[in-house]
Structure 1
Amino acid sequence: MTSYDGRNRSGRLFNFDEEQAYTFDLVAGTPRASLIAIADAARAYALRQQGQFDSETEVVCAFTSIDAPDGRKKRLKIFAAGKDFEDIDVNEVLRLQRAAGQFSVAPSRRLVEKLQDDSEDDLLE
């Protein structure tokens, strides 16, 4: 998270998977826990030692994107955010997606890997 404006619930974030910065908006009804995670990450980014990475600036987001005609992501619409994947309530995300008229969100590579790792842990031997 690189910035957040609480007045209009928008900001900028850096997507590690794509090595690209994006502007974002929070959808109406975004859970308060998501707002706290985003504000905490933006605060950590503002207070970091210049040139140093601070893991407190990281958040995991469930989002969809508004894309340009050439396929580039122009702006993200965030449904939920947290410090870790377990902090995101999937049922709440689905409810917000339906309310916003969005019915599918492509999961990030990291989320897919996390889900695969979790499913392997659940296998009985």
Structure 2
Amino acid sequence: MISVFPDRIEILSRGTLAPAQTMEGFYMGESIPANEKLSEIFLQLHISEKSGRGVPKIIEMYGKDAFSFRENSITASIPFEKVNRLDNLGGNKKAKLNLRRQFIIKEIRDNANITTAELSKLLNISDTAVIRI
């Protein structure tokens, strides 16, 4: 589940680490699904991938503190303030936000209830492209 707040975006993943997963492995991007069959279905539907790039990318940009672990969930919190600060540094090419990303962040800030469909119409791109961005 994705929640948008005035100062951050939170990505909530229900469940915990897979029994075979370690915290170190999680932070390194090891992809060990808690439910192998469900993971395969999501892969076949192109809803998820098994590349293990997501967590390391978040850590690279926002640090390990972006993640919080609760009894039945894992949350990644992406603060808008840090996104803006990183974007304005200039020297960090990976932190630069392209115009579409900047536009999407502005629209979400202005209307936390905006949908993917509405963003795709505003940008004249597919829903899938909006999700990817």
Alignment TM-score, normalising by the size of structure 1: 0.32
Greater relative contact order (Cα 8 A, min sep 6): structure 1 or 2?
2
Structure whose CA Rg is larger: 2
More helix as a share of residues: 2
